[in-house]
Chain A
Amino acid sequence: MELKDKLISSFLAFEEACDVDSDIHNLRCEAIKEFETMGFPSKKQEAWKYTSLNSVLKYDYSVFPKKEDAIEYRDIKKYLIHDIDTYNLIFIDGIFSSHLSQTTHDKIDVCLMSSAMAKPKYKGIIDQYFNKIVSKENGFNSLNTAFAREGAFIHIPKNIAANKPVQIINFATGNESALMIQPRNLIVVEENAQIQIIERHQSLTDHPVLTNSVTEIFAAKRATVDYYKIQNDRPSASLIDNTFIDQKDDSNCSMHTFSFGGKLTRNNLNFYQRGEHIDSTLKGITIIEDKQHVDHNTLVHHIFPNCESHQDYKGIFAEKSTGVFNGKIVVEKEAQKINAFQSNNNILLDDSATINSKPQLEIFADDVKCSHGCTIGQLDEDSLFYLRSRGIPLKEAKALLMYAFANNVLESVKIPEIKKRITHQIALKLGVSLGFDL
């Protein structure tokens, strides 16, 4: 059976475990119909021109995993930013792991989507925010909504800054021969509230895993959201990551995406600026090799005047890896005095590596500053010679230059432990010891 058909027929079984009288279930039923109509995206669609899903959709994925696996903290510690105190939402094969997690309802809510959906206390928030900004442009989003049941639910009330970051980590154990996971996250940050979030998807074996994740983030007036996605999965795991961010007046949201591994990674990152004096930051470092594929598909929608957006994506591609950057900026007619910056710089280390970079600017206002730049190149020979003339061997010299190339993306990382971790990952990725701690 085709994966699409399998998923549609699985929906009936899924329903049996759901509260079919809830409003959410009506949304699920609509969504499965949408998915039935749309199916999975194909290369014929402009937005998927450079990303073929054939190698990912060919597996017979299980949709319902078996019960939670006995995973101990020591098995997963290395995937966490463990040297700082955080709230942790840990899911194993899509199922919440209470013994590995640390949730809270003290002033803020950091808990499970399934429990938020079930408790009357959260009905107001769910009704107001759930599935309100998810695009219906591709079947993945509808598919996720149809099966939406588990994920992270984070609510930060007015004037509260969360006292520590939240880590959301989805592990796949590989108990199934092939597994599809569909986390659904809802993050609501009220007026003048603040939160930092770290998200990761991690497979623990070599069985195929496909994660189709949807995250909705709402940042009210003067709210601050500082979000980090760490993508360094195994070569058998693929990720379709769909993130939608709604910002109101004077809010500040930043998203850093670090893509170092996985078979196929597609990041659909959408910012909607619904207010004035909004600041949006989208940054990424991609370093991949072998036959890995990372596709960044961004949208910044400037709807109101006096806002800014900053996009900076760096990519280093080795061997037969492929990258895509498709950055769309829309500035509506009313959105005057906008500053929108976009930059995408890439280094191809081998002739066999590929990057497709495509800026898309649709500007309907006349008093705006928009700049975009895209470069594709190799490492600078003069710079390499300089480092080598100081006794630094070729491999290390290349690594240093790549680090320097990616560095300005790291400069805006506000959690030092993440910066340290990413720097270490870069060095590891490049297979060198740099002779000092960066």
Chain B
Amino acid sequence: MLKIKDLHATIEDKEILKGINLEINAGEVHAIMGPNGSGKSTLSSVIAGKEEFEMTQGEIVFEGEDLTELDPEERAHRGIFLSFQYPVEIPGVSVTNFMKASINAHRKSQGQDDMPANEMLKLIREKSELLEIDRKFLSRSLNQGFSGGEKKRNEIFQMAMLNPKLAILDETDSGLDIDALKVVAKGVNKLRSADNAVLLITHYQRLLDYIIPDVVHVMVDGQIVKSGGKELAHELEERGYDWLRPENAI
């Protein structure tokens, strides 16, 4: 589904990603772990198309199509979703209206008409129940005054609404208490199917107790230095990251 080959990316002439290779197939859950500043969030932003970063080398291919020249919205229309570490506040636009704008923009890109109101309502009800979101919450301005946990839950709600092929969850577990974490994990697990994939970006293995990954990658200094099964996450939790730094390699 997603093939990243020798990806290099810079911001303001500083190289952050230094040759990433990653392949994710439909039906898989991958986790990328690594210390602060290793480039994990940059990778997720680059896949989603953030223009601030410049791809200097390599390629990102999604379902056989080179993403390089596509705008962020075009990538979204093709089924890529990024759950943000720091979601943006939009005063005056309710969660519901924002979802309508988003879903209808997706439909428009497929040449479809706006989703009928009753269908929209049904979808919103179903997904908000899944994520245990109060109806009142949906009429609040998007992310405005939301707690850290509410923002993350809202991101996963949006993901559930849009039903993406590839969901990238950037530090979705940070700022969540254990109950909220379980709800979020339930939402993500519900989305998992043979046709889509999930890429988890995280510091801690805690999230991986609830969303079991097929593959765990370790990212250090802009490169994936080790990949393995879910047991790698536990090893990292015990030993930290230092043993994987290139300068410490034997």
Contacts and interface: CB of A to CB of B under 8 A. Distances in A.
Nearest to B101: A435
Contacts of B52: 381, 385
Interface string A252-287: 000000000000000000000000000000000000
A383 interface: yes
B203 to A, nearest CB: 21
B91 A389 contact: no
Interface string B149-180: 00000000010001000000000000000000
Interface in B59-103: 71-73, 75-77, 81-82, 84, 86-88, 90-93, 97-98, 100-102
Contacts of B48: 385, 389
A interface: dominant SS: helix
B20 interface: no
B89 to A, nearest CB: 8
B106 interface: yes
B90 A400 contact: yes
A401 B90 contact: yes
Given A391-B76, A391-B106, A400 B71 contact: no
Contact of B102 (A390, A401, A404, A438): A390
Interface residues of B, number: 34
A299 to B, nearest CB: 29
Given A386-B88, A403-B92, A404-B91, A396 B105 contact: yes
A314 to B, nearest CB: 12
Given A388-B71, A391-B106, A403 B158 contact: no
A436 B92 CA distance: 13
B139 interface: no
Nearest to A385: B50
A404 B93 contact: yes
B147 interface: no
A153 B94 CA distance: 41
B49 interface: yes
Interface in A386-419: 386-394, 396-397, 400-401, 403-404, 407-408, 410-411
A396 B100 CA distance: 13
B92 A404 contact: yes
A434 interface: yes
Contacts of A392: 73, 101-102, 105
Contacts of B88: 380, 382-383, 386-387
A391 B71 contact: no
Contacts of A407: 91-93
B36 interface: no
B237 interface: no
A438 B92 contact: yes
A390 B158 contact: yes
Question: For the side of the interface on A, what is the size category?
Answer: 20 to 34
Q: Which of A389, A408, A410, A436 has the most CB of B within 10 A?
A: A389
A388 B49 CA distance: 9
Contact of B105 (A380, A386, A391, A401): A391
B91 A408 contact: yes
Contact of A404 (B49, B90, B109): B90
B231 interface: no
Contact of A434 (B50, B51, B77, B101): B101
Contacts of A383: 88, 90
A388 B72 contact: yes
Contacts of B98: 390
A436 B120 CA distance: 12
A381 B114 CA distance: 27
B102 A391 contact: yes
A435 B93 CA distance: 12
B93 A391 contact: no
Q: Which of A387, A391, A407, A436 has the most CB of B within 10 A?
A: A391
A95 to B, nearest CB: 40
B92 A391 contact: no
Contacts of B158: 390
A380 B87 CA distance: 13
Given A400-B101, A436-B100, A436-B101, A389 B72 contact: yes
B25 interface: no
B77 A391 contact: yes
Contact of B93 (A380, A385, A394, A438): A438
B73 A438 contact: no
Closest 4 CB pairs of A and B: A407-B92, A388-B72, A391-B76, A435-B104
Given A383-B90, A386-B84, A436-B104, 8 more contacts: A385-B50, A389-B81, A391-B102, A394-B71, A397-B73, A400-B93, A404-B93, A434-B101
Interface of A: 380-383, 385-394, 396-397, 400-401, 403-404, 407-408, 410-411, 434-436, 438
Interface of B: 45, 48-52, 71-73, 75-77, 81-82, 84, 86-88, 90-93, 97-98, 100-102, 104-106, 109, 114, 158, 162
